[in-house]
Structure 1
Amino acid sequence: MTNADILREWALYCAAMGWPVFPLVSASKRPAIRGWEQRATVDRDRIARCWEAGTYNIGVATGPSRLLVVDLDTAKQPGEHDGVTALAEFAAGRGVALPETYTVATPSGGRHLYFALPDGVRLRNTAGLLAPRVDTRSGGGYVVAPGSVVAEGGYELLDDTDPAPLPGWLLQALCERPPTTTAPPRDMPVRQASAYAASAVQGECDEVRAAPAGRHNEVLSRDGLPA
């Protein structure tokens, strides 16, 4: 098989998983099209035509795929934890462990951990919110799919376990906000206020934070949120 054939098969594989895909510039992580999140597709005919036209890498649009992908990067400074270690310590500090899930190795030595979002929950991208060298990709984001190749190497599938449901403790952590001493203006315009109310999970997050000690999992378990 040619490189174009291999990339096409990986793109079709992702689509079969229910993950809308779009082309990335050959040997790159950059989108090859504008409006990629809206144009990402699982249509096999469209995918075949696209990848027959060139050796495009593959982007998975995480929002439309109903995924949250945890991006674990390598350490950048001597003595710094890499993302894998940092996330493991973060989980241990909460007395929990990460479940086995769909995992892709990145060319830099990092990892992409795929989790399925529960119905009704929408999350955005984060950078370092959980721990240093730990980012997340969801609504408005994308990840480079397995089978793609860049100058540093290829994105390799390490674990083809179906994406595990996003753990409740991880959802809670992503909803937590750092304390701030800056109060919002009292006379906030209606249009601005509605923008703050647009998050689909804000109410759930506030209830989790307000739950009495020992009842966080109970709060997370109701209304479709995982325990």
Structure 2
Amino acid sequence: MATINRQATTLALAHALSAAERGLAVIPLSRTKLPALRSPHRDDPTATPCHGECGRFGHGVYDASIEPRRIRELFAAAPWATGYGIACGLEPHHLIGIDLDTKTGTDSSAALRELALRHLFTIPETVVIMTPSGGRHLWLSGPPDVVVPNSAGRLAPGIDIRGAGGYLVGPGSRTEHGVYSTAPGTAHLAPARCPRALLRLLQPPPRAHHPTPSSAGQHGQGLVQFVLAAHEGQRNTRLFWAACRAYENGLTPALVAPLVDAAVHTGLTEREARATIASAARMTGHCP
């Protein structure tokens, strides 16, 4: 049974409410940095995909809210929470987190500087969160029509990306290893706009592949199956990746309807699915 630290929970709630005032949707976290509320469907293998439509708590970032009353209800349901998570990819900031880790033994900050020099961008002045292990989280704001997926080490060793379906541990959160804090001089800042060159790097890498007519059908069906296999928190990301591959390989528009149907089957609405596919079209230089 989780140990309840009333003072830590009260402080976490206060910090979460403060973040919500800035337009950042939040959820309670446990000391392990995981969502404090477990899925209400975890013991039902036949449960259909749910993003909170059931009305109960325990759907991860889909519970995230900026409404003070709902946030208080979330924390009341998780009195063992000692921190809070900030959902990425949501309005109004469409937050993207650049997680510069120190656990890999590599200099992730130097790796980011090298990427910036190579691809001709600079990291603007923005919110910086210090982690208990000595790492840093840089907060950036993305455009509303671009879905940035989560990734670990794809840009460079020690650099993880928190995008749509992910969350960042908020400053003031207490974990097993210490407290997250805002770097001096950055608390008053809003998340800065993500440089366009960096945004391109954050998208799934394109594959230069031109299928033959005989292989196109199999490849298209594989993309549909890839979307159908999505779990909670992966649906938008998998659909976006599959749609990008479809546009790059000349499989659209015939594949749009099957991809939409697959996404709806996993729990997305048709409107969400079509918006994600349109974003993939724009990112790959096609007209939605």
Name the TM-score, length of structure 1 as normaliser.
0.79
Q: Deviations over 1:64-91 (max 9, x none)?
A: 35211111111524xxx32211111110
Among 36, 57, 64, the alignment partner of 2:60 is: 36
- Seen in structure 2, the aligned counterparts of structure 1 residues 178 and 50 have a Cα distance that, compared at 3 Å, is closer
Alignment of 1:169 with 2:197, yes or no, is yes
Taking the TM superposition and a 5 Å limit, the aligned residue runs for 1:1-227 are 2-25=7-30, 27-33=31-37, 34-51=58-75, 54-56=79-81, 57-65=83-91, 66-77=94-105, 81-158=106-183, 159-160=186-187, 161-175=189-203, 177=205, 179=207, 183=211, 185-187=215-217, 188-189=220-221, 192=224, 193-194=255-256, 195=259, 198-207=276-285
- Seen in structure 2, the aligned counterparts of structure 1 residues 98 and 137 have a Cα distance that, compared at 3 Å, is same
- Seen in structure 2, the aligned counterparts of structure 1 residues 55 and 147 have a Cα distance that, compared at 3 Å, is farther
C-alpha separation in 2, matches of 1:132 and 1:84: 10
More helix by share: 2
C-alpha separation in 2, matches of 1:94 and 1:123: 18
Q: How many residues align?
A: 204
Q: Deviations over 1:168-193 (max 9, x none)?
A: 11111123615466958311349823
Q: Contact (CA 8 Å) 1:149, 1:155: kept in 2 or not?
A: yes
Percent same amino acid at aligned positions? 32
Name the TM-score, length of structure 2 as normaliser.
0.63
Q: Deviations over 1:111-163 (max 9, x none)?
A: 11111121222221122222211111111111111111112111111122110
Letter matched to residue 198 of structure 2: L
The residue number in structure 1 matching 2:249 is none
C-alpha separation in 1, matches of 2:282 and 2:132: 37
C-alpha separation in 2, matches of 1:201 and 1:11: 31
Segment drifting more, 176-185 vs 95-104: 176-185
Q: Contact (CA 8 Å) 2:124, 2:192: kept in 1 or not?
A: yes
- Seen in structure 2, the aligned counterparts of structure 1 residues 176 and 134 have a Cα distance that, compared at 3 Å, is same
CA root-mean-square deviation:
2.7
**Cα shift at 1:98:** 0.8
Q: Contact (CA 8 Å) 2:89, 2:142: kept in 1 or not?
A: no
5+ long unaligned stretches in structure 2: 1-5, 38-57, 225-254, 261-273
